[in-house]
């Protein structure tokens, strides 16, 4: 247990002292700040750009839920893409650089190596999400003059479940594919499969394929039911992917 904690400590310091502390937080803060502003002023911007062309088109008055929807949409597309690319080398980069050999010839099991990495970065994603959502919440309150919390936080937490699932899949792909770019490609393939799968209702109702759509629905504040089935199956898939990654990594030759 102490070994796992020491390795987790190393992972945490690695986040704090390398590019990892800038890239994903910068992307999330950017969307957290700009999302509510864009949601509020998009009709006016469109009107200013298009002039009289859309004079007959009546855009609805923006609400806080447009701001929340913007936040979830950005998280579900650009932040997920960034996450897939960033974590393509979560395991393979240490294998390729040789640092894994120095660690794994000490009393650190390969299972610990994989599990701790996945756990630390899942925690990091959770911290980033909480931070980004707080910023969105505050900026929305400033821009719109009100910001009910329920829809924002419930939809963001649903997104977190899906983000952790992508992290778990990237951990698996990074064990299977030695190149970070190759693993990222596999991750983007998984994103496409899940996005297309969401069109089929049974998959949308019961599998991870429907989760991002449910998050978007919750953000509208329409009081949708909590998606227990997609959340449950996503958590099972995440645990399965990390468990499989650990088993496969134990068999790998370094």
CB of 11 to another protein, least distance (A): 10
Whether residue 155 contacts residue 213, with contact meaning beta carbons closer than 8 Å, is answered with no
201 makes contact with another protein (CB under 8 A): no
Q: Taking the complex as a whole, how short is the minimal distance between the CB of residue 182 and another protein, in angstroms? A: 20
CB of 14 to another protein, least distance (A): 7
- Scan for tokens 């509208």, then name that residue: 220
Residue placing its CB nearer to another protein in the complex, 68 or 113: 113
Judged by CB under 8 A, the chain residues 63 through 122 that form the site for another protein are: 97-99, 101-109
Q: For another protein, which is the closer residue by CB, 124 or 137?
A: 124
CB of 109 to another protein, least distance (A): 6
**Residue 40 in contact with residue 143, Cβ under 8 Å?**
yes
**Minimum Å distance from CB 106 to another protein?**
4
Rg of the chain over all Cα atoms, to the nearest angstrom: 20
The 145-184 site mask, x for binding another protein (CB under 8 A), equals: ----------------------------------------
7 contacts another protein (rule: CB under 8 A)? yes
Q: What residues numbered 235-254 form the site for another protein, per CB under 8 A?
A: 253-254
If we measure between CA atoms, which residue out of 62, 63, 43 comes closest to residue 54?
A: 43
CB-nearer residue toward another protein: 101 or 127: 101
Nearer to another protein, 56 or 105 (CB): 105
Q: How far is the CB of 254 from another protein (least distance, A)?
A: 4
How many Å separate Cα 202 from the centre of its chain? Answer: 23
Q: Which residues contact another protein by CB under 8 A? A: 2-3, 6-7, 9-10, 13-14, 17-18, 97-99, 101-109, 253-254
């Amino acid at each position: 247990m102490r070994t796992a904690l020491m390795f987790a400590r190393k992972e945490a310091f690695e986040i704090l002292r390398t590019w990892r502390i800038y890239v994903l937080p910068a992307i999330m803060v950017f969307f957290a700040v700009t999302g509510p502003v864009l949601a509020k002023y998009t009709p006016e911007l469109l009107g200013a750009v298009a002039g009289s062309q859309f004079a007959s088109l009546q855009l609805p008055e923006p609400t806080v839920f447009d701001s929340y929807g913007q936040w979830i949409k950005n998280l579900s597309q650009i932040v997920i893409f960034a996450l897939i690319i960033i974590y393509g080398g979560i395991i393979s980069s240490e294998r390729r650089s040789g640092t894994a050999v120095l660690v794994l010839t000490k009393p650190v099991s390969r299972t610990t190596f994989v599990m701790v990495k996945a756990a630390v970065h899942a925690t990091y994603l959770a911290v980033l999400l909480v931070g980004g959502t707080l910023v969105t919440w505050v900026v929305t309150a400033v821009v719109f003059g009100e910001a009910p919390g329920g829809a924002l936080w419930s939809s963001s937490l649903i997104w977190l479940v899906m983000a952790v699932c992508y992290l778990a899949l990237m951990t698996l792909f990074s064990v299977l594919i030695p190149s970070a770019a190759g693993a990222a490609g596999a991750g983007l393939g998984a994103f496409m499969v899940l996005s297309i799968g969401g069109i089929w209702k049974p998959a949308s109702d019961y599998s991870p394929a429907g989760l991002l759509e449910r998050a978007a629905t919750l953000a509208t504040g329409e009081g949708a039911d909590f998606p227990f089935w997609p959340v449950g199956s996503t958590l099972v898939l995440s645990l399965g992917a990390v468990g499989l990654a650990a088993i496969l990594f134990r068999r790998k030759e370094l």
